[in-house]
Amino acid sequence: MPIKRILSLAVVLTLTASLFTGCAPKAETTEATDAPAANEPVKITFLNTKGEIQSQLEETVKVFTEANPNITVEVLPASAGQSPFEKVSSMYASGNAPTLSMLDGGDVLKFTDKFADLSSEKWVSDAAKGSLDDMTIDGKVKAFPMTVEGYGLIYNKAVVEKALGTTFDPKSIQTRAQLEDFFKKIKASGTEALVISPMDWSLGAHLLTIGYADQSADTAAINSFIDSMKSGSGKLSSNVAMNGLLDTFDMMKKYNVNGKDPLSSTYEKDAELIGSGNVATWFMGNWAWPNISQFSGTDAEFGFLPIPVSDNASDYGNNSIPVGASKFVSIDTTQNTPEQQAAAKLLLDWFVYDAKGQDMLVNTCNILPAFTNNTLPAKDPMSANLKAYMNEGNIIKFMVTLPSDHWSNAGASMQKYLAGKADRATLLKEIEAYWQSVQ
């Protein structure tokens, strides 16, 4: 049966050959020249790590393809719960790097040798003040600020005003005592005052880092504080802002609706609590709007309150909330062709300058852009409120360039503290130990 023999030989050969195809290394960097995209069809991939806007982003790039018919963009989702860094590094390892990677701030720094230099792009000059600071490495801009986010104590205006029986001025809360007084009044009216979510990312990356950001208005001072933590010379137990933050946190714990079983709640449950008006405030950010509006309707009004760290209204940070560029997009130069890189740059330009692109970002993806030339009003009340804080300058640094495992480790320590399984000394010691283990 020669035919059978030849067939089986062919099968074996193909299988063997297929083993090799994955192994060809392509390490050389091919930096794109700024030549206009040729008319040949180009396919680029865009790794999206904001899972909540996956379908909206797909819709957006479809509109982009209508305007640029030779470029198709495939939006790849990162699974929920997987860190963007894990996803991107595994894609690099498999020789399958996305053209555009959406990453958290700190992760970009790990890939700088693979990402394109974007310093000469037009949008650099239109980026909001400070949004490129963390992404400029050796004078080169390595990432595109995709979105501005911020967080604080979200309040449900209708619920608060009903509980207080009067109009509510969020500016009236700038000290710990004022915040406690506010919680007391709401509680007295029969509504639950506050919900604290137990997720490690919320506690570790957002709540705890207010203590870092409140160190100083000067980024350099915050950086040297972080450096002192790494070297072990910085002590948290004597740090004023950190202790002030934990004093406020202790006070908040008393009013937490999940107080009896603080670790059992979930993001979705807590969004429902505030959205349906059962609780007046929630410690979370503007990304929660889709989850909240499911229960509140899109006409309800929400805004942010600061987390004051002392009883002196004029102390730094007490009237401010953390706001900053939080997701960054970078272009790969090692596994994508110059044509693909040029197409990717075109897409970024389209986001910033094309009227359609601006509109899709703001109104479809519900993103607050980091570019000053985009003056479209924010679509939801929480982003609008963030914009107001930005315009007034009442913002503190959103710590986005911390080491990639900070949220997970610090978050675990904060969970212990929230559950009452660790006292303050233990918490601070664990966080100090974490920083000293950072390499």
Which is nearer to other proteins, 177 or 412 (by Cβ)? 412
- Taking Cα atoms as reference points, which of 382, 369, 168, 377 lies closest to residue 293? 382
Residue range at the interface with other proteins (CB under 8 A); choices 39-47, 86-94, 186-194, 249-257: 86-94
Q: Does 21 bind other proteins (CB under 8 A)?
A: no
Q: Which tokens sit at 260?
A: 């009896």
| Least Å from the CB of residue 53 to other proteins | 23
Q: Does 86 bind other proteins (CB under 8 A)?
A: yes
Any idea how long the chain is? 439
d(CA 438, CA 363): 40
Residue range at the interface with other proteins (CB under 8 A); choices 43-51, 321-329, 366-374, 410-418: 410-418
Number of alpha carbons in the 13 Å side-chain half-sphere of residue 140: 12
Chosen residue from 27, 35, 80, 355 binding other proteins by CB under 8 A: 27
β-pairing, 192-195 vs 279-285, is parallel
3-state helix, strand, coil in the chain (%, to 5): 50, 15, 35
Which is nearer to other proteins, 90 or 119 (by Cβ)? 90
Which is nearer to other proteins, 83 or 383 (by Cβ)? 83
Q: Does 413 bind other proteins (CB under 8 A)?
A: yes
223 φ, ψ to 5°?
A: -60, -40
Which residues ranging from 257 to 286 are in contact with other proteins (CB under 8 A)? 260-264, 266
Chosen residue from 113, 133, 250, 423 binding other proteins by CB under 8 A: 113
Which is nearer to other proteins, 264 or 373 (by Cβ)? 264
Which is nearer to other proteins, 153 or 402 (by Cβ)? 402
d(CA 135, CA 400): 10
Contact by Cβ (8 Å): 194, 281: yes
- Taking Cα atoms as reference points, which of 417, 392, 439, 375 lies closest to residue 170? 392
Give the angle subtended at the CA of 399 by the CAs of 397 and 405, to the nearest 5°.
175
Which is nearer to other proteins, 20 or 39 (by Cβ)? 20
Q: Does 89 bind other proteins (CB under 8 A)?
A: yes
CB atoms within 10 A of CB 296: 22
Which residues ranging from 292 to 331 are in contact with other proteins (CB under 8 A)? none
Number of residues lying near other proteins (CB under 8 A) = 37
Residue range at the interface with other proteins (CB under 8 A); choices 10-18, 117-125, 171-179, 183-191: 10-18
Q: Is 194 helix (H, G, I), strand (E, B) or coil?
A: strand
| Least Å from the CB of residue 261 to other proteins | 4
Q: Does 16 bind other proteins (CB under 8 A)?
A: yes
Contact by Cβ (8 Å): 256, 283: no
Which is nearer to other proteins, 136 or 408 (by Cβ)? 408
Contacts of 305 (CB under 8 A, 6+ apart): 152, 153, 154, 155, 170, 173, 179, 281, 321
d(CA 337, CA 333): 7
d(CA 99, CA 112): 14
| Least Å from the CB of residue 196 to other proteins | 13
Q: Does 426 bind other proteins (CB under 8 A)?
A: no
| Least Å from the CB of residue 100 to other proteins | 17
Q: Does 117 bind other proteins (CB under 8 A)?
A: no
Which residue has tokens 């509504």? 191
Q: Does 19 bind other proteins (CB under 8 A)?
A: yes
| Least Å from the CB of residue 436 to other proteins | 13
Contact by Cβ (8 Å): 434, 406: yes
Q: Does 415 bind other proteins (CB under 8 A)?
A: yes
Chosen residue from 52, 54, 59, 92 binding other proteins by CB under 8 A: 92
d(CA 295, CA 274): 8
Q: Does 31 bind other proteins (CB under 8 A)?
A: no
Give Cα 82 distance to the centre of its chain: 14
Site residues, other proteins (CB under 8 A) = 12, 15-16, 19, 27, 81, 83, 85-86, 89-90, 92-93, 110-111, 113-114, 198, 200, 260-264, 266, 403-405, 408-409, 412-413, 415-416, 419, 421, 439
